[in-house]
Amino acid sequence: MSKTKDLPLPVGKYAKLDNGLTLHYLDIGDGPVVVWLHGSGPGASGFSNFKGNYPAFDNAGFRNIVLDLPGFGRSDKPADVNYDLAFFVENLKLLLDNIGIKTCTLLGNSLGGAIALGYTLDHPTRVDNLILMAPGGVEERETYFEMEGIKRMVEVYGQGPMGVEQMRQVMTLQLFDSSQLQDSILEERAAVAVTQPANLFSTMLVPNMTERLHEIKCPILGFWGTNDLFNPVSGTFKILENAPHARFTLLNRCGHWVQVEHQQLFNRQCLNFLLDAE
């Protein structure tokens, strides 16, 4: 954790898992549990992805576990592991076991959405609801690497340590309206990015889970921006065609970060969904 002590991110709680890794998470509020799973971009953290969302869930009576995935934020970043889907799913289970959460709602965007799907497929009785924002895991790897946003991210990341301006080159593609991109988010993510190991992105592998989506029986609420440059919006229909209890909101003039670009709509629809499910 020494590398992360000076990061411009709030300090929450740390959990030492049975496999030796230490993960950081914010634990906000009381009530039914919502676990927040962020995406995979360089410098990502739970706080930078969801700072405009989880306070509304807290106010509505939910307990929010805002996780920094291994390799991200203030969590451990081992340089000797494969950051594949199984690794993330295993660590999510170990964390929830560690802090005594038996069932919860999983909320994830991009990589976090893929982890939510993978965890639900492996542990179906432990997930009450799924909230997904442009989740990964419903295309082949080659499809993602044809997307403009992924190409830009790989190109810029490959040039060396990412400062604020290099981060801006990638992050402007996250949003349809990049004027919403706050300098504070760029600074937070640039500070984290220099602490991340090279193997984080070189070993990241998420399988295409489309053919297994019919196994998911819990309610799914999904969001996708039609101007997403990272994950193709056609994934919406793969989930709707295969998961029996899914519904999606498609938003035009919206990129990869629905929860940022349409914050109030996202918060409102999620809370209505969760309160109706209780």
- The residues carrying an active-site annotation are 256
Contact 149, 122 (CB under 8 A): no
Could you tell me the two tokens for 255?
A: 């990129």
